Amino acid sequence: MKYPVTRFKSLEVALKEIEPMVRDPRHLQTGKPLEKFGDMRPREMLANWLLCATFEVIENRELLFYSDPIGGDGIIRDEATGETWPTEHVYVSQHSKGPDAKGLILDAVNHKQRNGAAYCGGKTLVVFLDTPAAGVWFPNEIAKALPSPLLFDTVWVVGFFMIETGGVYVYNLTLLDVTGGNAPAFLLRIAPDFDAWNVEQIQ
């Protein structure tokens, strides 16, 4: 059975739609679900775009994100192979309480894990970390402290990093997986006119 889904024509078109949400982060903090995108929240849309845009650069893949017709937080799809990755998102807001960023991230993962294997299995968990005041955190350390067994296929942490001179928005993305020795971490820079982006691997 096929379900109706919604997607943008390209990541370039999606970025232009997301631009107002990035420029006014209140949309990311309190924005209402977008009905035409399967009730995906603005921050979920941004995070899915960040993941697609990062892999497009580092792996030369054409990825797009779709609404999830069965209630998830979006589906990432490789347009060449048809491979898909359903996503589940959790938001760590500026008002979240915890000892530090590590504790907040692990609490967020554990909160979602409580839904059980049937809920988590086959999904990519995306932690949107919106708490710069929580301080520095170390990806390898958190990756090694993830719950065992980890019910999700993978866990990503994404979040705003800074605005560079000239109006370049910078986001960080980290895959909490130390299989290759270090948890892969990236910086994605969005051009001031929101017409292009580039990705730098920093770990």
Of the chain, the percentage scoring pLDDT greater than 70 comes to 98
Residue 144 · residue 178 · CB < 8 Å: yes
How far from each other are the two terminal CA atoms of the chain, in whole angstroms?
42
Residue 67 · residue 37 · CB < 8 Å: yes
* Stretch 136-142: mean pLDDT: 94
pTM attached to this predicted model: 0.94
pLDDT band at 38 (very low <50, low <70, confident <90, very high): confident
CA pair distance 155, 90, nearest whole angstrom: 11
**In whole angstroms, how large is the CA radius of gyration of the chain?**
16
